[in-house]
């Protein structure tokens, strides 16, 4: 195992996934653990190399830094326990800090974080009732694949900024009546990155980003309402020269459903019925997001009466349970009657002693004649 490359130590490809790296580490750790190799004086050193390699490749940030600055070529190792000029030495030389979080440096800055971005996704009301995986297309800065996002042409390396000393920010001291005031601001030379590039990437011109279209998948939770926003942490525009990405805020537009009106977590359904059904009663078939429900309508139901189907509304977004489905009755009155139906209704009105328009003169004709 005479190598300082963590990929070679674990025996994985540079494109290996996190699960592949974990499986390789567990297998090698069991094989080379000192307890399993008693009497072998080199077992502890091999186990240390395996553990250090896994420490780097299992951490996305450390792995990215190794890939950018110490993956090929130069002598030495990649960590603080190996001899030679490794990635820690590179970062200390460039930025005055320890990429493994061990302290010893003064760098507080670094490549600035990417800006946030906004997008809009449309879903149907039925989808928002159960939750759905939606796709959203966004045009935004993404990491340049040619330089792996660091802004330097492959084969070249960044240099520590001489102005800020790799801190990414400069300090200014001003005198005031209250004493000395110290302020900090992003370095105007390296734009807060902490390093400068002598040989910029020919694709992104040293920015580390290119503008491209991206299609992202996001989970739209059940119960979300029109106009609410989802925050996708770290899935926004890429940062300048390898800086962390911003966030993506996605506004959800819920398309109207002709069957329902949404009121909070309750749904309203307006159901027209015949006046005979209202008078005599009926059993209505009501469509819901979970299927068809039967709703008994008692005799003598008046227009505008509201019925409630418990738990058939929208899910509560931040708690368990669901709203209700409200059914409002709209009684339809026929506009045209054939002679037989008209005779039946007139007889019905006569028995009830109700005054109706004469057979040979409609109501509107009587109103019209009253103004002549």
Report the distance separating Cα 160 and Cα 183, nearest Å.
Answer: 22
Same domain, 285 and 361: no
Report the distance separating Cα 44 and Cα 183, nearest Å.
Answer: 49
Question: Looking at residue 61, what is its pLDDT?
Answer: 79
Q: Is residue 247 assigned to a domain?
A: yes
> Which of the two residues, 313 and 92, has the higher pLDDT score?
313
Q: β-strand 325-332 against 266-274: which pairing, if any?
A: parallel
- Domain containing 58 equals 6-95
Same domain, 51 and 73: yes
Average pLDDT over every residue of 329-346 = 91
Average pLDDT over every residue of 337-359 = 89
Report the distance separating Cα 341 and Cα 117, nearest Å.
Answer: 65
Under DSSP, the state recorded for 92 is H
Question: Looking at residue 78, what is its pLDDT?
Answer: 45
> Which of the two residues, 44 and 58, has the higher pLDDT score?
58
Same domain, 237 and 359: no
Quick one: pLDDT band at residue 93, thresholds 50, 70, 90?
Answer: very low
Q: Is residue 284 assigned to a domain?
A: yes
Residue 91 above 80 pLDDT?
no
Domains in the chain: how many in total? 4
pLDDT digits (tens, 9 = 90+) for 25-41: 888 888 887 777 777 77
Question: Looking at residue 218, what is its pLDDT?
Answer: 93
Q: Is residue 111 assigned to a domain?
A: no
Same domain, 131 and 248: yes
CB 211 within 8 A of CB 137: no
Question: Looking at residue 70, what is its pLDDT?
Answer: 58
Question: Looking at residue 362, what is its pLDDT?
Answer: 52
Mean residue pLDDT of the chain comes to 83
Report the distance separating Cα 307 and Cα 327, nearest Å.
Answer: 5
Question: Looking at residue 368, what is its pLDDT?
Answer: 54
Average pLDDT over every residue of 244-270 = 95
Quick one: pLDDT band at residue 282, thresholds 50, 70, 90?
Answer: very high
Which candidate, 132, 321, 323, 314, places its Cα nearest to that of 221?
132
Average pLDDT over every residue of 214-233 = 94
Three-class secondary structure of residue 87 per DSSP: helix
Q: Is residue 164 assigned to a domain?
A: yes
Residue 84 above 60 pLDDT?
no
Min mean pLDDT across 10-19, 103-112, 314-323 is at 103-112
Residue 106, phi-psi category: left (phi > 0), alpha (psi -120 to 50), beta (remainder): alpha
> Which of the two residues, 301 and 103, has the higher pLDDT score?
301
Report the distance separating Cα 25 and Cα 58, nearest Å.
Answer: 10
Average pLDDT over every residue of 300-329 = 95
Report the distance separating Cα 65 and Cα 91, nearest Å.
Answer: 9
Residue 72 above 50 pLDDT?
no
Same domain, 143 and 251: yes
Same domain, 23 and 43: yes
pLDDT digits (tens, 9 = 90+) for 166-205: 888 888 887 766 667 778 888 888 888 888 899 999 999 9
Same domain, 283 and 174: no
Report the distance separating Cα 337 and Cα 317, nearest Å.
Answer: 49
Report the distance separating Cα 166 and Cα 175, nearest Å.
Answer: 26
Same domain, 53 and 148: no
Same domain, 243 and 141: yes
298 φ/ψ angles, rounded to the nearest 5 degrees? -75, 155
Which candidate, 40, 155, 159, places its Cα nearest to that of 95?
159
Q: What is the CATH number of the domain that holds 20?
A: 1.10.287.110
Same domain, 213 and 297: no
> Which of the two residues, 176 and 107, has the higher pLDDT score?
176
Report the distance separating Cα 110 and Cα 113, nearest Å.
Answer: 9
Report the distance separating Cα 43 and Cα 63, nearest Å.
Answer: 25
Same domain, 25 and 56: yes
**What's the order of all strands across the beta sheet hosting 325-332?**
261-263, 266-274, 325-332, 306-309
154 φ/ψ angles, rounded to the nearest 5 degrees? -50, 135
Same domain, 18 and 36: yes
Q: Which long-range contacts (CB under 8 A, 24 or more apart) does 68-76 make?
A: 68/148, 68/149, 68/150, 68/242, 69/94, 69/150, 69/157, 71/5, 71/14, 76/4
> Which of the two residues, 169 and 314, has the higher pLDDT score?
314
């Amino acid at each position: 195992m005479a190598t300082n490359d963590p990929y070679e130590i674990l025996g994985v490809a540079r494109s290996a996934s996190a699960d592949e790296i974990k499986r390789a580490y567990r297998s090698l750790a069991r094989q080379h653990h000192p307890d399993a190799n008693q009497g072998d004086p080199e077992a502890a050193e091999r186990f240390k190399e395996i553990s250090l390699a896994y420490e780097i490749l299992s951490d996305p940030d450390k792995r990215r830094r190794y890939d950018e600055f110490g993956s090929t070529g130069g002598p030495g190792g990649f960590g603080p326990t190996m001899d030679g000029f490794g990635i820690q030495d590179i970062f200390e030389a460039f930025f005055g800090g320890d990429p493994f979080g061990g302290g010893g440096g003064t760098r507080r800055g670094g490549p600035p974080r990417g800006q946030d971005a906004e997008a809009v996704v449309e879903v149907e009301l039925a989808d928002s009732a159960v939750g759905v995986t939606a796709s959203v297309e966004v045009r935004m800065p993404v990491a340049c694949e040619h330089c792996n996002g660091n802004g330097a042409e492959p084969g070249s390396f960044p240099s520590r900024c001489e102005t800020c000393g790799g801190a990414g920010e400069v300090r200014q001291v001003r005198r005031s009546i209250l004493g000395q005031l110290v302020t900090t601001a992003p370095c105007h030379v390296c734009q807060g990155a902490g390093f400068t590039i002598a040989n910029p990437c020919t694709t992104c011109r040293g920015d580390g980003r290119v503008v491209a279209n991206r299609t992202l998948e996001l989970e739209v939770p059940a119960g979300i309402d029109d106009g609410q926003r989802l925050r996708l942490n770290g899935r926004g525009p890429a940062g300048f020269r390898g800086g962390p990405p911003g966030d993506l805020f996605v506004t959800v537009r819920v398309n109207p459903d002709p069957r329902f009106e949404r009121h909070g977590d309750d749904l309203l359904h307006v159901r027209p019925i015949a006046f005979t059904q209202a008078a005599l009663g009926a059993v209505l078939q009501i469509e819901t997001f979970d299927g068809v429900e039967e709703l008994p309508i008692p005799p003598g139901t008046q227009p505008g009466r509201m019925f409630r189907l418990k738990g058939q509304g929208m899910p509560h977004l931040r708690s368990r349970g669901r709203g209700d489905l409200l059914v409002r009755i709209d009684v339809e009155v026929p506009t045209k009657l054939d002679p037989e139906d008209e005779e039946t209704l007139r007889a019905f009105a006569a028995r009830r002693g109700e005054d109706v328009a004469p057979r040979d003169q409609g109501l509107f004709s009587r109103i019209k004649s009253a103004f002549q």
